[in-house]
Amino acid sequence: MVHVALTLVLRFADVGVATYVSLRVVGEPSRTVTWVVEEPALVSTLGQLTSALPDTQGTETQRDAVERAVSSGPFAEPDTERAVARALGEKLIAADAWRLLTECATSPRATLFVSPSARLARVPWSLVAQPGDSDDRLIDLVDVLMAAPPNIVHAPRASVGWDERRDAPRLLVVDPRVPGQRPDSALGSVLGRPSAETPLARHLAELMARQPVLPPVNAAVELFRRTDADRLWLADLLAEAPSRLLYIGHATAADGDVGHAARSALHLADPHPLSAADLIAMRLPMPPRVAMLACASGADYRFDEATGLVAAMILGGAQLVTATLWSLPTAAGYRQFAPGAGDFDPMADAIIAVDRAHEAPDAGRELNRWQRERIGQWRDGDPQATPLYWAALVSFAVDGAR
């Protein structure tokens, strides 16, 4: 007997003060489960999550937020992280839904697509734990991907599959130098001083030995802190039809809680950031896979109209986009407040994991596999497997990509 992998969809909708939820198995409507999350439960649970994240709150500086998240927040220790994960699992997912998810935990592994509401846009679904004593996470039962907003999925767009492009060069945009910004300023270097001996430089050198890359360089260290990496440079390289795009750098969210997703932007070696609206207007042709390792680059769902950076990449042709739910502390920031961190570089660790996953046949599933590995290490007490990094990573998929 041939077993076909199931696909499930978990959808949230904020209606007034309540959030309505449904979990369905694609092709099996009779198994659909629905429930309501009342506002008091939502507010208390999201408050716990917010206190764990390295995004600023109130009058905090960015340094304050990183110190809190790394040294004293709920994600600083496995026991307190587990408490948040269980609260999320108990308050956001009904018992009947957990039963359905358990029933669908088959081989081959089922895939769950999550479509959160604006209030739940920063929930790290890979981390959410099943209520009880087992500490099973959602990602232990199913592969977890993000659903793209329906208006984006159904919009006219051209796309090319990974199998058609897999032999083309990889386009690497690595920590471009933003004009007028010192290396230690808010829009300075996210990776620190370039060196051929860093873990990321060594990884990219190994990639270059196996695959062609764009821009053409003689050494991996030449990819870092480029001053020519502006929007026209990017457009020219995208026109060469690369197989995938890796962006590592700064992103800015859109004007806080009352902003527009289209104002979310990537920072290149340009006087002005490249917004989602700019990307859509320029009609830049995106490769089938895009990774954006930048502050809250996957924040599309925070807004009523989810037309942010992820949407711009999908409208440009991407079928799988990996992004982050919150700001990732730099390696220097993490080491400053993490006892015993030594030379470990958690930022590079996450970037390398994403880059390797995007070489696999199913990039989103492969990233999930790495996240499960990290969860196991975290459970075993390894502080280097901090969820501040692996739990922030999500992949949005369309057109059958996994």
DSSP string, 141-157: HSEEEEEPPHHHHTS--
Residue at token pair 């002005």: 272
pTM: 0.96
In this predicted structure, what is the pLDDT of residue 114? 98
Number of neighbouring beta carbons within 10 Å of residue 373: 13
Q: Give the torsion sign (CA, 109, 115, 116, 121).
A: positive
| Calpha distance 231→259 (Å, rounded) | 23
Phi-psi region of 108 (alpha: psi -120 to 50; beta: other; left: phi over 0): beta
Tokens representing 291 are 């990774």
Tell me the pLDDT tens digit for each residue of 119-161: 999 999 999 999 988 889 999 999 999 999 888 988 989 889 9
DSSP labels, 5-21: PPEEEEEEEEETTEEEE
In this predicted structure, what is the pLDDT of residue 284? 95
In this predicted structure, what is the pLDDT of residue 259? 57
Residue at token pair 């999350």: 37
What kind and span of H or E run contains 47? helix 39-52
How much is the mean pLDDT over the chain? 93
| Calpha distance 372→185 (Å, rounded) | 34
Per-residue pLDDT, averaged over 177-205, amounts to 93
Measured in degrees and rounded to the nearest 5, phi and psi for residue 229 equal: -80, 65
* 213 neighbors 167 (Cβ within 8 angstroms): no
In this predicted structure, what is the pLDDT of residue 349? 96
Report the range of poorest mean pLDDT among 138-147, 177-186, 274-283.
Answer: 177-186
Tell me the pLDDT tens digit for each residue of 18-66: 999 999 999 999 999 999 999 999 999 999 999 999 999 999 999 999 9
Per-residue HEC secondary structure of 302-371 comes to: HCCCCCCHHHHHHHCCCCEEEEECCCCCCHHHHHHHCCCCCCCCHHHHHHHHHHHHCCCCCHHHHHHHHH
| Calpha distance 2→137 (Å, rounded) | 27
In this predicted structure, what is the pLDDT of residue 342? 82
Tell me the pLDDT tens digit for each residue of 240-259: 999 999 999 999 875 545 55
Per-residue pLDDT, averaged over 193-214, amounts to 96
* 28 neighbors 103 (Cβ within 8 angstroms): no
Tell me the pLDDT tens digit for each residue of 280-306: 999 999 999 999 999 889 988 888 777
| Calpha distance 397→368 (Å, rounded) | 13
Task: Give the residue among 300, 388, 373, 386 at the shortest CA–CA distance from 114.
Answer: 300
| Calpha distance 85→101 (Å, rounded) | 17
In this predicted structure, what is the pLDDT of residue 256? 47
| H-helix segments, 220-287 | 231-238, 276-282
Report the range of poorest mean pLDDT among 42-46, 92-96, 261-265, 279-283.
Answer: 261-265
| Calpha distance 234→217 (Å, rounded) | 15
Tokens representing 245 are 């795009």
- Give first-to-last CA distance, the chain, whole Å: 23
Instruction: Tell the burial category of 318 from Cβ atoms under 10 Å away from its Cβ (0-12, 13-18, 19+).
Output: buried
Residue at token pair 């991407």: 318
pLDDT band at 260 (very low <50, low <70, confident <90, very high): confident
Residue 362 reports pLDDT greater than 70: yes
Report the range of poorest mean pLDDT among 24-33, 185-194, 215-224, 272-281.
Answer: 185-194
Measured in degrees and rounded to the nearest 5, phi and psi for residue 3 equal: -95, 125
